[in-house]
Amino acid sequence: MSTTRPRSAVADRAVRFGAAALDDNRRSWFGALIAVAWLSYLIGPIVRNWREGEHANAAWASVTLFAYAAVILGSFVVFRGTRRRDPLVDPPVDHRVWPVLAAMTLCTVILVALLGAAALPTAIYISVVAIFHLPSRESGYVSVVVVLAMLLVPVALPDLRAVPFYVAFVPTVIWAARQLGLRGERLSELARRQKAELAIVAERNRVARDVHDILGHSLTVITVKTELAQRLLDVDIERARAELADVERLAREALGGVRDTVGGLREVTLRAELANAASALAAADIAADLPDPANLPDGDNELFGWVLRETVTNVVRHSAARHCTVIVTATSIDVIDDGRGLGPDAGTGSGLAGLRERTRAAGATMALSIPAGGGVHVAVTVPKQLAP
């Protein structure tokens, strides 16, 4: 077996993983830089304190602001690995986040003490870090605490009432927006998984249908030819050998057909199936009226080949017919026999059910009827725009 495909698959996964990791890294740095950039609004109050002679306050506020920015920057970089690898499952709580939130809370308290009401909105960053690095429930708790603190602290400390009260609800808005984004990711992941499951089911059905059609036809013909060879052993040994040689050929073709079907390489043509039908009907001692391959419409017409294969198999296996007629046009194929007709379970067997699915998938229609003289008439019609 060639190792080219496995190696290329591993390479593709490695490239995708590297690209995803690089993308996450860039997002982390971008988000951290944007967050830190918003802290620059405190530079004005620090400069004002410095000009007013409060050098110590300005110096401590500068150091605290720098430390705050470093903590935020580090949190977005260090904890990027805690992001949801599976959108349908919340990640476990990374307990390293709690010391970070405690450090941010301390920085906020110091900044508020040094700069007053202007520094109170920095509490929003506490909820932002929690929202992005904690599961939904825990981050919601942190956001509620931050909102309550921003509402109640100005009530207790009148000097901080300069901050508009609606600023306190920014963490709630951010948390809600984050949850909407996560819900969208979950829905997208569910849709992707359902699509993959449907594709797997469809492929299984295709393989099962093709294997049934291939083996059903081949084994039916093999059975008929083996019975014929047994009867000829005492009458015409040379013809019996010829029939047994056909049995061996059919068995090999069936095995190859199964392998090709499993590998998705199976090709069926109407011309090839006409030759197989002639051999199968002759072995079953059923007179066949088949179209001349030279007069067939252009194109391989794979659907008509499958129809002919399944219907001839049913004629040989179930009909006890003496005559079978096949009519092919550019848009239709009709298979008519004069056998025992439709049974009570007609159309419900796996063969005809699979044939219905195949014709429906190709945009064609299939009809079963009883001719005037008895038997079964199978008609499959393809719309003109789909005809080869």
SS3 annotation, 249-266:
HHHHHHHHHHHHHHCCCC
Q: Are 313 and 351 in contact (CB under 8 A)?
A: yes
Confidence of residue 20 (pLDDT cuts 50, 70, 90): very low
Within its chain, how far is the Cα of 375 from the centroid?
A: 45
Q: Are 130 and 144 in contact (CB under 8 A)?
A: no
pTM of the shown model:
0.48
* Residue of 314, 313, 306 whose CA lies nearest to 358: 306
* Residue of 124, 129, 145, 38 whose CA lies nearest to 82: 129
pLDDT at 326: 94
Q: Which residues of 111-130 are buried (b: 16+ CB within 10 A; e: fewer)?
A: bbebbbbbbbbbbbbbbbbb
* Residue of 376, 365, 310 whose CA lies nearest to 343: 376
Q: Is pLDDT above 50 for 6?
A: no
Q: Is pLDDT above 50 for 15?
A: no
pLDDT one-digit tens code per residue, 123-159: 888 888 888 888 888 888 998 998 998 888 887 777 7
User: What is the chain's percent helix, strand, coil content, to nearest 5?
Assistant: 70, 5, 20
pLDDT at 19: 39
pLDDT at 379: 94
Lowest mean pLDDT among 167-171, 229-233, 250-254: 250-254
pLDDT at 14: 40
> In a 3-state reduction of DSSP, which class is residue 388?
coil
User: Of residues 160 and 328, which shows the higher confidence score?
Assistant: 328
User: Of residues 165 and 344, which shows the higher confidence score?
Assistant: 165
Phi, psi of 348 (to 5 degrees): -105, -10
Q: Is pLDDT above 60 for 204?
A: yes
Q: Is pLDDT above 80 for 5?
A: no
Lowest mean pLDDT among 3-17, 124-138, 258-272: 3-17
Q: Is pLDDT above 60 for 314?
A: yes
Q: Are 176 and 184 in contact (CB under 8 A)?
A: no
H/E segment holding residue 267: none
| Residue range 222-231: mean pLDDT, rounded | 82
pLDDT at 345: 57
Residue type, 156: A
Q: What is the mean pLDDT of the chain?
A: 78
| Residue range 206-218: mean pLDDT, rounded | 68
Task: Give me the percent of the chain exceeding a pLDDT of 90.
Answer: 10
> In a 3-state reduction of DSSP, which class is residue 229?
helix
User: Of residues 30 and 383, which shows the higher confidence score?
Assistant: 383
Residue type, 113: A
What the chain holds in terms of domains, given with CATH numbers, is 4-163 (no CATH), 195-386 (3.30.565.10)
H/E segment holding residue 204: helix 170-232
pLDDT at 40: 79
pLDDT one-digit tens code per residue, 166-175: 888 888 888 8
Task: Give me the percent of the chain exceeding a pLDDT of 70.
Answer: 77
Confidence of residue 333 (pLDDT cuts 50, 70, 90): very high
pLDDT at 336: 93
Full DSSP string of 155-203: HH-GGGTTS-GGGGGHHHHHHHHHHHHHHHHHHHHHHHHHHHHHHHHHH
Q: Are 306 and 355 in contact (CB under 8 A)?
A: yes
* Beta sheet of 323-328, edge-to-edge order: 287-289, 323-328, 332-337, 376-381, 365-369
pLDDT at 36: 72
Q: Are 76 and 35 in contact (CB under 8 A)?
A: yes
pLDDT at 86: 62
